[in-house]
Amino acid sequence: MNRPRRPPLLWVLVGLLTVEFLLVAGLTVLLAVSLADGGAGSLASGVALTVIAAIAAIWLGAMVVGAFRGQAWIRAAAVVWQVIQIAVGVGSLLGALAQPWIGWPLTIVGVGAFVLLFTPSVVDATRRRDDAAM
């Protein structure tokens, strides 16, 4: 079977999404451990934050798989995630409690992935609407 070649920029996008997935999955584990050892200030807030982080990790994991398979739906999902990530990154750069060591990487990776999502080679590579081929 002759598979279409994946363009290099798609591999870069898959790499960025994978890094984002691994970091959010790691954060989910840290939140769960903190919740288990009583480190959360409020049990309800700790559970809610852990569940939200787990949902985000699952969403990112699905985007990584979808991007690798060249599925079209990942473009919209990834745009939404990058907008959220950029907003959090910029928010981390501002105010009295600014955390540039968090804000700059989030913003730079978010903008980079956002730009990659609209490059012609990535758009062409992510046009599949079915699960059959590839």
- pLDDT tens-place string over residues 19-53: 999 999 999 999 999 998 887 778 889 899 999 99
In a domain, 62, yes or no: yes
In a domain, 92, yes or no: yes
In a domain, 51, yes or no: yes
In a domain, 97, yes or no: yes
In a domain, 3, yes or no: no
88-92, long-range: CB within 8 Å, 24+ apart, which pairs? none
Helix axes 8-36, 100-117, angle to 10 degrees: 140
Say if residues 57 and 25 touch (Cβ distance below 8 Å): yes
In a domain, 134, yes or no: no
Does the predicted TM-score (pTM) go above 0.85?
Answer: yes
Query: How many domains, in total, are found in the chain?
Result: 1
Say if residues 14 and 64 touch (Cβ distance below 8 Å): yes
